[in-house]
Structure 1
Amino acid sequence: MAELNLRAVGGARPDTVWLRYTSFRQWPTWSPYIVRVRVPAESLAEGVRGTVRSFLGITASFLVESVDEAERSWTWRVRFGPLRMRLTHEVRPHGEGTETRLRMRGPAPVLAAYAPLARLALRRLVAP
């Protein structure tokens, strides 16, 4: 397993960025490759399972492992066939805006392929 860390800084307020993460309905608004989230809950919570569908028609299943509202961090596992990744997200105040961090663990080729999409999504996530 490999690990890759990404970050983005933008002008959105931390509360706004955290809401964008915790509301499943908002995921397609900041993540340009997600077109649909199917989940039996309105918001992020430990133990929630669901699927995300990409614009390429790829569907991946996920499990939210942990959510820490006070620290504004959460971890989930994503699976597409035999491919698996574990992603940990953090939201932190940064000047007049927000910094978000993403730690990804998984097969190195998968992380390398996903990183450009993740960078784009993180930049959109913290945009005002």
Structure 2
Amino acid sequence: MARMTLSANGAACPDTVWQRYASVDQWASWAPQIKAVHCEGRRLSPGLSGTVESAGGVHAAFVVDAVDHDRRTWTWRVHLGRIRIRLHHEVRPQGRGTTTSLTMDGPQLVLVAYAPLARLALHRLVQP
């Protein structure tokens, strides 16, 4: 098991960035690797589960473990077959904008392969 942390800074305000996370219907607008999110709830909450459909048509199952709307943090687990990844997200004010971070725990090769897509998504997430 390996750990990797990525971060991005941008001009969007923290509340805007958090709402982009909190509404699963917005994920595809800033995360180019996501085509759609299939789940019953539309807002982040502990226990929310479903699948994330990739742009390539692959469906990965997920479960949200924790959400703290006040601190703007959330954690979820994603699995595709035998591959399991835990992702922890944080949104913080940074000057006049926002910094967001993603800490991933999982197989090192998977994290290294996913990092460029995740980095691009984080940069898009914090843009106005």
> Deviation at 1:33?
1.1
Q: TM-score, normalised by structure 1?
A: 0.99
Alignment length (residue pairs) = 128
- 2:117 paired residue number: 117
Tell me how large the CA RMSD over aligned residues is. 0.4
* Equivalent residue, structure 2, for 1:79: 79
Alignment partner of 1:29: what SS? Answer: helix
Q: 2: CA distance between counterparts of 1:52 and 1:102?
A: 17
- Tell me the equivalent position of 2:102: 102
Offset, 1:56: 1.1
Deviations 1:88-117 (A, max 9, x none): 000000001000000000000000000000
User: Could you list the runs of 5+ residues in structure 1 that have no partner in the other structure?
Assistant: none
Task: Give unpaired runs (5+ residues) of structure 2.
Answer: none
Letter in 1 for 2:59: T
Residue deviations 1:38-78, cap 9 Å, x none?
01001000000010011111110000000011110000000
> What corresponds to 2:68 in structure 1?
68
1:38 corresponds to which residue? 38
2: CA distance between counterparts of 1:81 and 1:54?
15
Partners of 2:20 and 2:113 lie apart in 1 by: 24
Q: What is the rounded CA distance, in whole Å, between the counterparts of 2:14 and 2:46 in structure 1?
A: 21
State the TM-score, normalized to the length of structure 2.
0.99
1:12 aligns with 2:12: yes
Moved over 4 A (4+): none
What is the distance in 2 between the residues matched to 1:96 and 1:39? Answer: 34
